[in-house]
Chains A and B, each alone.
Chain A
């Protein structure tokens, strides 16, 4: 079963009387443990594709299935639960909660749901942080960490809910080349070790070598 299946997905926005097509009949399949790099110029539709795949937006047309479940017609409430339980996000701007420690930034994902116990969540957060080489930063606030450490915490947060699909937006844009490569290696290692699928949006062609496959998007149209 594919981790992500987009079939004829179209996303349009209205701007006055005009209709802007952000994604034009996109069809894409990402395997269960596949890492896909999505590249394209600014405004090409990368973020829209990521948003629709992660249940942040619904498509105007077409079908979106994650882990075999069609989320195209989900309500806002169902999408919230879907994001909480089935996908992980790593944002370009990291976006950690500034007044929470590294561990709390992970366990908060657990606390939004009701199915996992706090004790299990804490243990899982500590295990993830340990794997990410942050065992010494468990109780540190984001302001006390370096950019690379914050990015690693963000990766941990994305993996906290054991997602079927991880969506990663420009993970290296704020890091120097060396640190960027370290982060990419870490992402690949963590994602592969869990047999989880991932889509990595990047401008940096050098980072595509970490992916199993690269897909280009231009003006909302996907090209293999």
Chain B
């Protein structure tokens, strides 16, 4: 083992090709992971930031917020269900907004809400012309105190505070009173105008001690099948494109990890071929195949780990220069997942050399 580390320290250039390849693959993996997380975070923040444990859609909407309608009668049925502590209306209008002195329209997810959302300033009562904006909109010129002209009707709405991680389908969260949302919807989407009291969905706070799944079922039973009630996580997964996005990016990440394993396997197979003479001498003086193989695996792990760390630094620098339109989010848990995957594939790649190490004949040291 120590022998492997000493070789790495004294002959680092010998590992430069494998290391460089793994650095590039690490950056690629981190970028793909960051893109996956950025897309997920940017699409699902609205639902993840809800404090209610359940989301209720009309059953004919097939779990789509935009298509769903919950009228006051249905809401009354839901509120009467045992285990429902509180309900809050939820509605979204995806529109553009004009920010003063900014040439481009900014994409907004104008959201009506009744129950508080995570990270919302305490006791913040919004007036009809006020909004809480997602902090990601700062990158598009939005500031607190700024008045944004929202939607086709150019409704002037002043930003009075920030919330975080509330975006919906890559559009910046913009939280307003229900009446303001209805006005924006009427001006920008005349075909989607909703009567007063009707929302696209309801969020439901479940009473202490009640089982969320049982309450969800009870809600759908109480409405006679007029609703489809999902937990918050289920609602997130039901958003359009989320599952496909996850599976597509995950597949690309797994393929890239496989390629990393192949790079390590190829490199260490060549290195082992080159070292057969050395290994025969080491075996002749008493090294076991296990000790030699352990050194090879250790070298692969150290090269992979150092390459990953360099990749993290490069990725961090890359995120500083990436335009805000590219939704890359570096999430520590993803980094850990990629690091573990890279180390595991490197160890497996190095394991390809096991057979060759075992077959090295110590007698060849003396010809």
Contact in complex: A91, B278 (CB < 8 Å): no
Residues A74-109 near B (CB distance < 8 A)? 77, 80-81, 83-85, 89, 91-92, 95, 97-100, 104, 108-109
For the complex formed, measure the closest distance between the CB of B6 and the CB atoms of chain A, giving whole angstroms: 6
* B281 at interface, CB cutoff 8 A: yes
- Taken residue by residue from 270 to 288, chain B's Cβ proximity to chain A (1 for < 8 Å, 0 otherwise) reads as 0000000110011111111
* B324 at interface, CB cutoff 8 A: no
Which of A49-57, A144-152, A190-198, A212-220 is the interface stretch? Answer: A49-57
Contact in complex: B284, A99 (CB < 8 Å): no
Contact in complex: B367, A56 (CB < 8 Å): no
Instruction: Give complex CA distance A109, B2 in Å.
Output: 12
Instruction: Give complex CA distance A108, B6 in Å.
Output: 11
Instruction: Give complex CA distance A216, B123 in Å.
Output: 102
Contact in complex: A112, B284 (CB < 8 Å): no
Which of B39-47, B143-151, B358-366 is the interface stretch? Answer: B358-366
Contact in complex: B288, A91 (CB < 8 Å): no
Instruction: Give complex CA distance A81, B287 in Å.
Output: 8
Residues B64-78 near A (CB distance < 8 A)? none
Contact in complex: B6, A89 (CB < 8 Å): no
Contact in complex: A83, B367 (CB < 8 Å): no
**Given A50, A91, A111, which contacts B281 in the complex, CB threshold below 8 Å?**
A91
* A157 at interface, CB cutoff 8 A: yes
Contact in complex: A83, B284 (CB < 8 Å): yes
Residues B1-40 near A (CB distance < 8 A)? 2-3, 6-7, 10-11
Interface of B is mostly: helix
Residues A98-150 near B (CB distance < 8 A)? 98-100, 104, 108-109, 111-113, 141
Given the known A-B contacts A83-B285, A100-B6, are A89 and B291 also in contact in the complex, defined by CB atoms under 8 Å?
Answer: no
Instruction: Give complex CA distance A62, B30 in Å.
Output: 62
Given the known A-B contacts A51-B363, A97-B278, are A80 and B288 also in contact in the complex, defined by CB atoms under 8 Å?
Answer: yes
For the complex formed, measure the closest distance between the CB of A106 and the CB atoms of chain B, giving whole angstroms: 10
Residues of B within 8 A of A111 (CB): 2-3
- Taken residue by residue from 161 to 184, chain A's Cβ proximity to chain B (1 for < 8 Å, 0 otherwise) reads as 100000101000000000000000
**Given A80, A85, A108, A161, which contacts B283 in the complex, CB threshold below 8 Å?**
A80
Contact in complex: B277, A84 (CB < 8 Å): no
Instruction: Give complex CA distance A95, B280 in Å.
Output: 10
Count of chain B residues with a beta carbon within 8 Å of a chain A beta carbon = 22
Task: Name the CB-closest residue of B to A94.
Answer: B281
Residues of A within 8 A of B286 (CB): 80-81, 83-85, 109, 112-113, 161
**Given B6, B291, B366, which contacts A99 in the complex, CB threshold below 8 Å?**
B6
Contact in complex: B11, A112 (CB < 8 Å): no
Contact in complex: A97, B366 (CB < 8 Å): no
* A7 at interface, CB cutoff 8 A: no
Of A80, A83, A104, A141, most B-chain CB atoms within 10 Å: A80
For the complex formed, measure the closest distance between the CB of A160 and the CB atoms of chain B, giving whole angstroms: 9
Count of chain A residues with a beta carbon within 8 Å of a chain B beta carbon = 31
Task: Name the CB-closest residue of A to B1.
Answer: A111
Task: Name the CB-closest residue of A to B363.
Answer: A56
Residues of A within 8 A of B278 (CB): 95, 97-98
Given the known A-B contacts A97-B278, A99-B6, A100-B6, are A112 and B288 also in contact in the complex, defined by CB atoms under 8 Å?
Answer: yes
* A27 at interface, CB cutoff 8 A: no
Instruction: Give complex CA distance A111, B3 in Å.
Output: 9
For the complex formed, measure the closest distance between the CB of B158 and the CB atoms of chain A, giving whole angstroms: 68
Task: Name the CB-closest residue of A to B283.
Answer: A80
* A47 at interface, CB cutoff 8 A: yes
Residues of A within 8 A of B291 (CB): 112
What are 28 A-B contacts with C-beta separation under 8 Å?
A: A50-B366, A56-B284, A56-B363, A77-B288, A80-B287, A80-B288, A80-B362, A84-B285, A85-B286, A89-B284, A89-B366, A91-B284, A91-B365, A92-B366, A92-B367, A95-B277, A95-B278, A97-B281, A99-B7, A99-B10, A100-B3, A104-B6, A108-B282, A111-B2, A111-B3, A112-B282, A141-B10, A169-B367
Chain A residues engaging chain B, CB cutoff 8 angstroms? 47, 50-51, 54, 56-57, 77, 80-81, 83-85, 89, 91-92, 95, 97-100, 104, 108-109, 111-113, 141, 157, 161, 167, 169
Q: Which 7 A-B pairs have the closest CB atoms?
A: A84-B286, A56-B363, A95-B281, A99-B10, A112-B286, A51-B363, A83-B286
Contacts A56-B366, A80-B287, A109-B285 known; list 18 others, CB within 8 Å: A56-B362, A80-B286, A80-B362, A81-B286, A83-B285, A84-B285, A84-B287, A91-B281, A91-B365, A95-B277, A97-B278, A98-B278, A99-B6, A100-B3, A108-B285, A111-B2, A112-B288, A113-B286
